[in-house]
Amino acid sequence: MPHVICEPCIGVKDRSCQEVCPVECIYDAGEQLYIHPDECIDCGACVPACPVNAIYPEEDVPEQWRIYIPSCATS
C-alpha cells in the first residue's frame, strides 16, 4: 500500500519528504505535496522526514483525513 500525505501538509510543503524519497514519487500539488501511488515503493522513508506528521501508510490514515486517499490516487 502506498503512503498518503494528509491535511497537516497544506500550506507547509516542507519538502523534507521529497529529499529522502529514493524513487522521487512525491510531487507538488498546489497547496500541498502528494505521493504518486503507482510510483511509491512503500519504503516509509518519508514518514519520519515529515516535520508535521502528515504522511501515513494508506491503511493507517486517520478517519478524518481519509478523504485524501482518492486525491492522492488521481493527482
Question: Does residue 48 sit in helix, strand or coil?
Answer: helix
Domain borders along the chain are 3-74
Give me 72's grid cell. 492522492
DSSP conformational letter for 59: G
Cell 519528504 belongs to 17
pLDDT top residue among 60 and 75: 60
Whether 51 shows a pLDDT value over 80: the answer reads yes
Q: How confident is the model at residue 71 (pLDDT cuts 50, 70, 90)?
A: low
Q: What is the pLDDT of residues 1-50, one digit of tens each?
A: 689 999 999 999 899 999 999 999 999 988 889 999 899 999 999 999 99
Report the CATH fold assignment for 3-74: Alpha-Beta Plaits (3.30.70)
Report the C-alpha gap between 49 and 66 in whole angstroms.
21
Report the C-alpha gap between 25 and 1 in whole angstroms.
14
Report the C-alpha gap between 19 and 46 in whole angstroms.
9
